[in-house]
Structures are given as structure tokens and as C-alpha cells.
Chains A and B, each alone.
Chain A
Amino acid sequence: MINPGVHWLQRPETIRKLWRWGIGVLAVTAMLDLFLTPHPYFMVDGTFGFYAWYGLLTCIAMIIVAKVLGIFLKQGDDYYDD
């Protein structure tokens, strides 16, 4: 069922496909650690898939910090207009 009015990138089936492929690529990149001998600088960065979970967790943490900060610091964008 192809809706010609919608750009192919916006069709739900494309988006589903992108998600599936994206997750596949993520899994493969994480699995590549199986073939690498870790050369950690500080112990913990030698754990399996360190860069993957560290990237994911720190990014989620940063978004949450930003959200929390936003509660206090967000203002309407006409705030400074007099």
C-alpha cells in the first residue's frame, strides 16, 4: 500500500525498515568487540561494549539533566522582549 503523495522517507513502512536496519547495525557494532582485544586505559573501558553502553547511558543522562535544568531555566521565547 503505497501512498504516492508522501515522500518515501516518511512512509511508515520505510520508518519501520529504518528502525530494523538501525538496530541491526547497532548490534553488529557492539558485537565487533568480540573480535577486538581490549586495550583499556582505565580498567572499566575494557569491559564488553564499553563505548556502546557508555555512549548510550551518558547521552540519556545528559538529556535528563537538560530536562531537569529546563524546568528551572526555560522561559517563553519572548521573555526578553519588552
Chain B
Amino acid sequence: MMIDVLPPGVVLILGALLVPITSGVARTIIIMGLPLFVLVLIWQVPDGAAITAPFLDYQLTIVRGEAVGRVFATVFAIMSLAGGIFALRQARVLEIAAAFLYAGSAIGVAMAGDLITVFVFWETMAIGSTLIIWAAGTEAAYKASMRYAIMHLFGGVVLMIGVIGYVMTTGSVDFVHMAPNGFATWMILIGFLINAGAPPFSAWLPDAYPEASPSGAVFLSAFTTKTAVYVLIQGFAGTEFLIYVGLYMACYGIIYALLENDMRRILAYSIINQVGFMVTGIGIGTEMALNGAVAHAFTHIIYKALLLMSAGSVLYMTGKRKCTDLGGLYQSMPLTCITGIIGALAISSFPLTSGFISKSMVSQAAADENLMFAWFMLMAASAGVFLHAGIKFPWFVFFQKDSGLRPADPPANMRFSLILFAFLCIALGVYPAPLYAILPFEVDYVPYTVEHVVKTLQLLLFSGLAFFVMLPAMKRTLTITLDVDWFYRKLGTKLAIRLVNNCSQARNVVENIARQRLDVLLMKVSRNYGPGGFMARSPTASGMMVWVLVLLAVYLVVYFL
């Protein structure tokens, strides 16, 4: 047993318990102070194992200091601060407490040194995130949370199977790099990929996140998929298979986001698109690619949270979430509109925003490795990001037609977090050095060359042209687009109903046959035993005398024989 530092994740989880029992200023101090305190703790953890504990025959490394995990833990802490401020006055207490539980366990995963600790925090995350969805308090949210929880518990089981198999074959619980070369490691990889939103298990994300409260979706966007990115980097960097998974996710996210009408579902699909870039980088696995994946996860959490805060503000002020109901909000919500646009530019990796200095590292790595297919796909996906998130989201929410809605900007605490994250998006884009300094490998990359800026502008501006040229084809309709969840929401239900119907029909047939047989039997019984039946007849005295005589005669005969 060794305890050198306070465990940052556990501190945040315990802090979550303080949220419901405090109120007023004390709660505000906890919500704003605790993430900062945890951030300090994260940077107190020295390299190597910092907290170990024996468990059964194994030595758990509950906290481990290491470069990649530290970057993720850092951005998770920043996220819980900004999310906490955004949710401060409007969200239910349950939601904020659940968010801290969720964020704390995400930090726990990012700093865990063994698979058992990873698994425990992994499952705690599933609980925390499900509670956040519950906090929305609607029927739709409850149903979505159940589907979400089932999917994640299933993923947890797959992961557990993998972990047990891995520990049995290697004899070690240490969470180190592995290759998918056996049943156990494949199970671990699949368990990780389910949380990353990889196909075919991606529909849980756009199904559940948009049902959360305005602030709930902000928290949800940050942790689950990015811890999955983290564990994939640690466990499976350089697994070629992941390049194709990532490219698929990047394209899938765009296509579905283009078809979507609900503004937060657009952003949910775009999470999968962005995680696709990271997963591709992990698959490429070079130092440049991994730096890119880590940096992109960092910047992505911030601009995606900003976008969802912007969308959340619109939802909070108008109660509407469909593009068909929205439009023209720039007139009365200037701050929400401008910060939303900053987030949209950042996700599109416009020069001078955070996305520009992170995403390009992944495509640069693809070019360096001569991965032509991957490179062309990444370029197309980069253009598509501008199309579906960079323009589509702000256009249909804030411009488009005039919906007649004139909501004001959201309350002060929400405005503050919008400004904070918009500032970070630009600050990281203008001055990436601090982020580059904490990346796992030395950064040998200069984002701001004339060539790179011009190429990016060409790519993005002409994507913008495509959007406006094709605008009639982009017209929003009151529709949803069927995804893989159709299989368990519709086909599964249909099959279940059919099964029940068939079973009850079969039961009816069996019951009818049984009933007919029983009726025949009953008829026979009642013929003999019923009133007037042979056995129920009351015999006459003389008749009985005859029978007694017969019996006596038989008895005599037998006796003498």
C-alpha cells in the first residue's frame, strides 16, 4: 500500500456528495472551487505509480502519473469547472452531483494504472452519466437513459470479460500497451470502442445526449467518448484496424448530422465525427498522430462544450430544439450567437481557432506515413465538418428564416461559461505553445505556415460555397433518420411483440386441445359418476341382498377349493 498524493478523481467523486447537502454560497464555492483544487492535485501527481493498493493477489495502481493521462485529466477538470458554472443556477442538484461523479470517474480512468481500476471507474462513469440524463426529468429522457444504461452496461460486461481473460493469460493487471491478437484483448478493444461511439454501437450517443437538460448535454459531450479515446491511446495505439474505424466514424457523423433536424442531435453526431479523427490518429500511431489525437481531444472537449452551451442556451431560453422551429435568433441572442460561431469555427479548424492547431496534426501524420486513402478521407471529412457543424448549426439556429422568436441571451452564469470557453478556443488557436508543451511527445509541428493557412481556407470556404449552393437540398424537414438503434427500438420491439403474440397463440391452441380433451373426460366421468350415472345410482335393498349372496357363494366356493 502506497499513498503519495491525494487521488484527484476520488476527491471529485467525494466532492459530488457535498453538492446535495450544501446550499447557497457554500455550494457555489464547492462547484467552482473543487474542479480547480482537483486540477492542482492532477499536477501534483509525479510520474509513475503514486497510489497503489493490494487487491486479491494483484497490486492495483490506483493513481499513476503519465503524460497522456495528465492531459486528459486536465481537460476533464477544466470541463467540470465550466460545465459547473454553466449549470450552476439552472440545473437540478442531482445533475450537478452526477456530473461531478461522472467527471471524477473520468479523471480516475485517465490516471488509473491497472485494468481493474480502469474498469471500476469505467462503470462509475456509466452510472454518473445515466443519472445526468435522468435529471432532465422527462419521459423521453428516462426511456433514452434506460437504453443508454443498457448499452453501457453491456459494454462494461464485454470489457470485464476481456480484462479477466487478459489477467488470466498474462498474470498482470497493469494497463499497458497491448495488441488485439487474442480473444481477451479483442474483448477489451470492443469494450473501449463501444464507449467511443464506434460502429455498430454508435447510436446510443445521438439517442441519449440530446434528451438531457440544456446543461446535462454539455457534461455528457465531454467525458465518455474522450476517456475511450484515452484508453485506446494507452492500450491500442498503432492498431491499423482503428484507422478504418475512425474514418468510418468521421464520415458517418457528417452524413447523419446533415440529415438531422434537432440542433443538439446535429452536435451529437458531430461528436462521433470528431472522435473519428482521433481514432484515426490512434490507428496511425506515430508520435505526430498520437500528439494530434491527444491535442484534438483537448481542444474538442472545449469547443464541443461551447457549441452545446450555445445550443443549450437556445433551448433554455426558447424551449425549442428543432431547426424547423428556430432561426433568426442572432437578433436577440448576440452573445450566444457569436460564441456559438466561435465554437463552430473551432470545430471546423479555422485558422486562429483551437481546432486548427490540433486536427491538422492527424492529417499531417497520415501524409507523413503515405496513407493516401486515409489522407483523402480526412481532407473530405475536414471539409464536411465545416458543412455540418461549422455552418449548418449556426445557420439554422441563428440565421435562416426569422422564426419570430426574440429570446434574450441566457442568465449571467451561462454567459460567463460561454465567454470562458470561447476565449479558450481562440487563445489555444492563437497561442498553442502551452498545449503543445504538455503533449506526450515533443511537438515537431508548426501549424501556422502560409501554405497550411491558405489550403485550410480554400478547403473550408469552398465547403461553405457548397453549403449555400446546395441550400435548397438542405432544407430542414420534421424528420429523424433511422440509425442502428432502429434494430433495438423498432425491430427488437416488433420481434418481441410477435414472439409474445405467437407464444400466446400457441398457448391458445394447446389450451383449446387440452380443454376439448378435458371436456370429453369430464363428460365420461359425469356419465358414470354424475347424478343418475351408473356409480351414483342408489341401489335397491333387494339388489344389494342378491350381491351379498353372490359374494358369500363365491367365498364358500373359494374356501372349499
State which of A41, A42, A62, A76 has its C-beta within 8 Å of the C-beta of B255: A62
B529 is an interface residue with CB less than 8 A from chain A: no
Question: Which B residues lie within 8 Å of A41 (CB)?
Answer: 367, 370, 372, 375
Give the interface size bracket for A toward B: 35 or more
Interface residues of B in 421-450 (CB under 8 A from A): 450
Contact with A along B389-408 (1 / 0, CB 8 A): 00000000001001000000
Q: Considering the complex, give the chain A residue whose CB is closest to the CB of B257.
A: A66
Q: Flag if B458 contacts A66 (CB, 8 Å).
A: no
Q: Does B473 contact A (CB under 8 A)?
A: yes
Residue of A at shortest CB range from B483?
A73
Q: A59 vs B470: C-alpha distance in the bound complex, in angstroms?
A: 9
A36 → B minimal CB distance (Å): 6
Instruction: Identify which of B370, B379, B458, B467 contacts A49 (C-beta below 8 A).
Output: B458
CB-contacts of A23-56 with B (<8 A): 25-26, 29-30, 32-33, 36, 39, 41-42, 49, 51-56
- Per the bound structure, the CA–CA distance linking A60 and B470 in Å amounts to 7
**Least Cβ distance of B66 to chain A in Å?**
33
User: Does B480 belong to the interface (CB within 8 Å)?
Assistant: yes
Find chain B residues with CB under 8 A from A66 CB: 254-256, 258-259
B473 touches A54 (CB 8 A): no
Which residues of the partner chain A approach B469 to less than 8 Å between Cβ atoms?
60
* Closest residue on chain B to residue A82 by CB atoms: B493
Q: Are B479 and A74 in contact (CB under 8 A)?
A: yes
Are A59 and B466 in contact, with the CB atoms below 8 A? yes
Most buried by B among A32, A39, A80: A80
Interface positions of B from 444 to 465, Cβ below 8 Å from A: 450-451, 454-465
Min CB–CB distance A69 → chain B (angstroms): 6
Interface mask (B251-283 → A, CB under 8 Å = 1, otherwise 0): 100111011011000000000000000000000
B383 and A32 form a contact (CB under 8 A): no
List A contacts of B259 (CB < 8 A).
66, 69-70, 73-74
Q: Which residues of B contact A25 (CB under 8 A)?
A: 461
A65–B256 CA distance with the chains assembled, in angstroms: 10
In angstroms, how far is the closest chain A Cβ from the Cβ of B224? 22
Let me know if A58 is at the binding interface, CB within 8 A.
yes
Q: Is the CB of B480 within 8 A of A77?
A: yes
A53 and B379 CA atoms in complex are apart in Å by 12
Given A29-B454, A70-B259, A75-B479, CB of A62 within 8 Å of CB of B461:
no
Nearest CB in chain A: distance from B233 CB, A: 24
Asked if A74 contacts B480 (CB within 8 A), the reply is yes
Cβ of B457 and Cβ of A36 under 8 Å apart? Answer: no
A56: contacting residue among B456, B463, B482, CB under 8 A: B463
Given contacts A39-B451, A80-B489, contact A67 B473 (CB under 8 A): yes
Q: In this assembly, does B22 line the interface, its C-beta being within 8 Å of a C-beta of chain A? A: no
A residues less than 8 Å from B477 (CB atoms): 74
Question: When chains A and B are docked, how far (Å) is the Cα of A7 from the Cα of B375?
Answer: 43
Find chain A residues with CB under 8 A from B384 CB. 58-59, 62
Closest residue of B by beta carbon distance from A74: B479
Q: Which of B399, B461, B467, B468 is most buried by chain A, counting CB atoms within 10 A of its CB?
A: B461
Expressed in whole angstroms, the Cα–Cα distance for A75 and B489 within the complex equals 14
Please determine whether B482 and A29 come into contact, CB atoms closer than 8 angstroms. Answer: no
A9 touches B466 (CB 8 A): no
B380 part of interface (Cβ distance < 8 Å)? yes
How many Å from the CB of A65 to the closest CB on chain B? 6
CB atoms of B466 and A60 under 8 A apart? yes
Contact present for B481 and A52 (CB under 8 Å): no
Residues of chain A within 8 A (CB-CB) of B557 are none
B478 proximal to A (CB < 8 A): yes
B122, chain A: closest CB distance, angstroms: 29
Known: A74-B479, A76-B478, A77-B478. A29 touches B387 (CB 8 A): no
A21: shortest Cβ distance to chain B, in Å?
12
Within the complex, the shortest CB–CB distance from B303 to chain A, in Å, comes to 20
Find out whether the CB atom of A58 lies under 8 angstroms from the CB atom of B478: no
Q: Is A26 in contact with B258, judged by CB distance below 8 angstroms?
A: no
Whether the pair B473, A62 counts as a contact (CB closer than 8 A) is no
Contact check, B330 vs A9: say whether CB atoms are below 8 A apart. yes
Evaluate contact between A51 and B459: CB separation under 8 angstroms.
yes
- Indicate whether B474 reaches chain A with its CB closer than 8 angstroms: yes
Contacts A49-B458, A73-B481, A76-B479 hold; do A56 and B465 have CB atoms under 8 A apart? yes
CB contacts (< 8 Å) of A55 on chain B: these are 379, 383, 458-463, 466
- The reply to whether B402 and A10 form a contact with Cβ atoms under 8 Å apart is yes
CB < 8 Å: which of B262, B330, B383 contacts A54? B383
CA gap between A73 and B449 in the complex, in Å: 43
Given A63-B473, A77-B479: A29 touches B457 (CB 8 Å cut-off):
yes
Q: Which B residues are in CB contact (< 8 Å) with A42?
A: 367, 372, 375-376
Q: A33-B454, A54-B459, A58-B384 are in contact. Are A70 and B481 (CB under 8 A)?
A: yes
Check if B515 is an interface residue, CB within 8 A of chain A. Answer: no
The verdict on B331 contacting chain A, using a C-beta distance below 8 Å, is yes
Does B89 sit within 8 A of A, measured CB to CB? no
List the B side residues contacting A26 at CB < 8 Å.
Answer: 461-462, 465
Other than A52-B462, A59-B383, A70-B479, give 8 A-B pairs with Cβ distance below 8 A. A9-B399, A29-B454, A55-B383, A55-B461, A66-B259, A69-B255, A74-B479, A76-B478
25 sample A-B contacts, Cβ–Cβ < 8 Å, listed by A number: A9-B330, A10-B402, A22-B465, A25-B461, A33-B454, A42-B376, A49-B458, A51-B454, A51-B455, A55-B379, A55-B458, A55-B460, A56-B463, A58-B463, A60-B466, A60-B470, A64-B473, A69-B255, A70-B259, A73-B482, A74-B481, A74-B482, A77-B478, A77-B479, A77-B480
For the complex of A and B, the 8 pairs showing the least CB-CB separation, nearest first, are A59-B466, A51-B458, A58-B380, A41-B367, A55-B462, A66-B258, A55-B459, A56-B462
